[in-house]
Structure 1
Amino acid sequence: MRIVSRWMLTLSLFLILKSTLVADELPAPTGDPAIIPAGAKLEELWKEGLFTEGVAAAPDGRIYFSDISAGDRPGRILRFDPSTKKTDVYCAGSGQSNGLMFDRNGNLIAACGANGGKIALCRIEEEGALKVLASKFDGKVFNSPNDLVIHPDGSIFFSDPRYVGTEPTELDHMSVFRFDPKTQKLTRVTTEITKPNGVILSPDGSTLYVAETNRGTTEVAKAKSSNSKSRMTLNAFRIKKDGTLGKRKILHDFGDQLGIDGMTVDTNGNIYAAVRSAERHGIIVFSPAGHVKAYIPTPDLPTNCCFGTGEGKQTLYLTVGKGLYRIKLKSTGYHPATS
């Protein structure tokens, strides 16, 4: 018994040491010194999740993020307090929330996915209950709302692909939608993206950036013919006066490498993209024109990122693998819904 205990203790210490070494051996962030300060280093804050996503900064400076389950539970939303460095459970049943963002009134809006989830655009109530804002398009249930961004006018753009989930699909397309909470109007804003993922806005609110993350497969049976080719791209769309989108402009093509999951922007319009490429995963910073300006390596595949608020406005928070991380930068984050 003592031998087994000693062996387990030795193994545990080895794993802890190995994990520390892996973190310490990460290549240093590189790129534009106006973005990456000297000595910038990624800091692990919490690593007890299953699959973290949708990091969002609250007006009071606390950081919220999703922990998506494998379908055995509805997922949850965690909350990290920068002042205490403690993380607690904010919502124990998030309906498989993925993308999160606070609106101008301080409401937490969530894109809730499939695989046992709510499959809807929802508002997370203070007591943890979910208020469905939209769940169907043309009378058909969404595929699996994935990510969202709230425009300064209050409207919500969100992506609706299907990556996981055993639920039957009803739509024959995977699209980007715009929901207006004031009028309750839901609009399909583009047909040019085969499988949309992360979405974010330019600081002036005139451009919507959309990540297309399509390996050439889909669970939406009727859409197979339009999704037969792998498409991994970062795209820009001009937002028209009626909220629909103009013709897409491809800013970056990842070729055969896995592309972008979630994104955020800084006040200069630079795009911070969580890139899941096996060869070079991490946060890649693109200019508004699509030029690479900086690179922040991560210890595992990243899913999303956002800047903090208040005193943390130059701190980038990242969901990576099973955890939450942060890094102090020189750039300042922009929050389209509240800035």
Structure 2
Amino acid sequence: MRFGLLWIACVLCAQDYSEVQVEKATGGLRFAEGPLWSKENNALLFCDAATGTIHALLPGNGLAKFREEMGGPTALAFDLNGKLLIAQSKLRRIVRTSLSSNPKIEVLAERFEGKRLNGPNDLAVRKDGHIYFTDPAYGSQIDARELDFDGIYHLSPTGALSLIAKPKGRPNGITLSPNGKILYVANSDERKIYAYDLDGRGNAANERVILEKLDGVPGGLRTDEKGNLYIAANHVLIYSPNGKLLHTLHVSDKPSNLAFGEADLMTLFITAKTSVYRVKLKVKGAVAE
């Protein structure tokens, strides 16, 4: 009976990706990263970390600069009040701001135990306001680091910052399961995906490796409403919740990160070095974050 239930669950999670097509949405960027769909703007917001710019891709209306001089932005998310969260890798902090034309910047996390963060890379927000982010050191951040480890962090709704893990390799992309009870983290150096169980208070436990020996260095992660995991690596790898490779979306450039968007949340946007791509799917993105 248990085998039968597992088989039914796998069938329900399965999707048909055979007819999906990858379309280039825009190009000419330095290094596209950290996409996020904004319902308020009806646009895809994404970062160009090399230029310090956050762009807005407006369907049918092209590309526009949304924010400039943003301190090496690499990831975006919304908090419970619709404020924009930004991982600023160059300024080595997590900040919050509004979508208004004259926004103020509020620093949420900049130091851990008195020492500056390495360079926050990616972040995810649970429905109840808990924030999770990765803090690896890359490039010049290695020489300027004050912490002797690459961390995965939890920022509670009250502003308390706690350390989840000190992985051996550098953590990169981060996302949540649809029900918000599992945290997924990509480890670029190890080419693995880690998972952590989250409780009602947002605390993490039961660290484990769920995928390894991936095709390429894993970056950004996302989940859909069925719990399937999307990984930006050499291409976009799509795995079922039980670890089966369902499909590979081939992209001309190496993908960096992912986001579901448009009104029905059934379009997957892919940032990939100098370009942004989109793929229309038959499944919605998860709304746990």
Match of 1:175 in 2: 151
Matched-pair contact (CA < 8 Å) for 1:121–1:145: yes
Match of 2:53 among 71, 76, 82: 76
> Aligned AA for 2:147?
L
How many residues matched? Answer: 273
Match of 2:80 in 1: 104
Match of 1:292 in 2: 245
Residues 77-123 of structure 1 show CA distances to partners (whole Å, capped at 9, x for unaligned) of 000112x341100001111110111223221111110xxx2210011
> Aligned AA for 1:178?
H
Q: How far is 1:246 from its partner?
A: 1.4
Q: Quote the Cα distance in structure 2 between the aligned partners of 1:98 and 1:108.
A: 13
Q: How far is 1:314 from its partner?
A: 0.8
Any idea what SS the aligned residue of 2:140 has?
coil
Q: How far is 1:307 from its partner?
A: 0.6
Q: Quote the Cα distance in structure 2 between the aligned partners of 1:156 and 1:150.
A: 5
Q: Quote the Cα distance in structure 1 between the aligned partners of 2:16 and 2:118.
A: 37
Provide closer, same or farther for how the CA distance between residues 90 and 141 of structure 1 changes in structure 2, counting only shifts above 3 A.
same
Unmatched 5+ stretches in structure 2: 1-12
Matched-pair contact (CA < 8 Å) for 1:37–1:330: no
Matched-pair contact (CA < 8 Å) for 2:71–2:91: yes
**What does 1:78-227 correspond to in 2, within 5 Å?**
78-82=55-59, 84-113=60-89, 117-125=90-98, 126=100, 127=102, 129-166=104-141, 168-180=144-156, 182-192=157-167, 194-214=169-189
Matched-pair contact (CA < 8 Å) for 2:150–2:167: no
Residues 311-330 of structure 1 show CA distances to partners (whole Å, capped at 9, x for unaligned) of 3x111001011111101011
Give the number of the structure whose alpha-carbon radius of gyration is greater. Answer: 1
TM-score, normalised on structure 1?
Answer: 0.76
TM-score, normalised on structure 2?
Answer: 0.89
Provide closer, same or farther for how the CA distance between residues 185 and 270 of structure 1 changes in structure 2, counting only shifts above 3 A.
same
Q: Quote the Cα distance in structure 2 between the aligned partners of 1:191 and 1:329.
A: 35
Matched-pair contact (CA < 8 Å) for 1:212–1:232: yes
Match of 1:259 in 2: 217
Unmatched 5+ stretches in structure 1: 1-31, 215-230, 276-280
Q: Quote the Cα distance in structure 2 between the aligned partners of 1:169 and 1:149.
A: 23
- Kindly report the root-mean-square deviation, in angstroms, between the aligned alpha carbons of the 2 structures: 1.8
Matched-pair contact (CA < 8 Å) for 1:90–1:128: no
Provide closer, same or farther for how the CA distance between residues 120 and 242 of structure 1 changes in structure 2, counting only shifts above 3 A.
same
Matched-pair contact (CA < 8 Å) for 1:146–1:160: yes
- Tell whether 2:236 aligns with 1:283: yes
